[in-house]
Amino acid sequence: MIPIANGTFEITPIHEKYAWRICDFVTVNTSRLKTYFPQTLTENLTPELSKLFIDQKIKAFNNKTEFVFVIKNTIDRSVAGLLFVKNLDFDKKEAEIAYCIGYQHEGIGITTMAVKEITAWAFKEHGLRTLRIIVHKSNPASIRIAEKCGYMWKETLPKEHQPPAMQPMDMELYVKAYEG
């Protein structure tokens, strides 16, 4: 468990007890997730699907192929958001961080604090030396999060993301190198 600075939220590795809460999170935030997290959305539309998703992500966590964390409200225990450390390449010592936050928790700094904590965790616990965040230019809030966490714009990735029933999208690559 990683407490976030404001004390009302914490980051915790995904656990089977979150199946209902993750299902609630994605169904309430469907419109926010459908373009950039379509697979996460479809894999969590029912509690049964969420259970399968969580089982898969726990195995990935234990195998160190992907790390999924829940941003949890410590007061009502609800899921406020999700963080992914994915596309891990331990030979190159790099990975990608992806994040999503519920509409009711946006704009209050939770995601920035969580990304800072997970960035430090990935560098310290796994010896990673380069982390990436990939965002679309139409998401200024996500760009601000990357920049506030010390990620620097590197380049535009042509046709990097393929949302369902849409044309491929160019995405912006932000990178942070280990400064230890």
For 69-118, how does the pLDDT look when each residue is reduced to its tens digit (9 = 90+)?
Answer: 999 998 899 999 999 999 999 999 999 999 999 999 998 899 999 999 99
3-class DSSP assignment, residue 125 = helix
Please enumerate in sequence order all residues whose Cβ is within 8 A of that of 81, keeping only pairs 6 or more positions apart, or say none. Answer: 25, 70, 71, 99, 100, 101, 102, 105, 110, 111, 114
For the chain, give the longest Cα–Cα distance: 43
Q: What is the pLDDT of residue 8?
A: 85
Q: DSSP per residue over 6-17, as a string?
A: TSSEEEEE--GG
pTM metric for this prediction: 0.94
- Residue-wise pLDDT tens digits, 5-23: 567 899 999 999 999 999 9
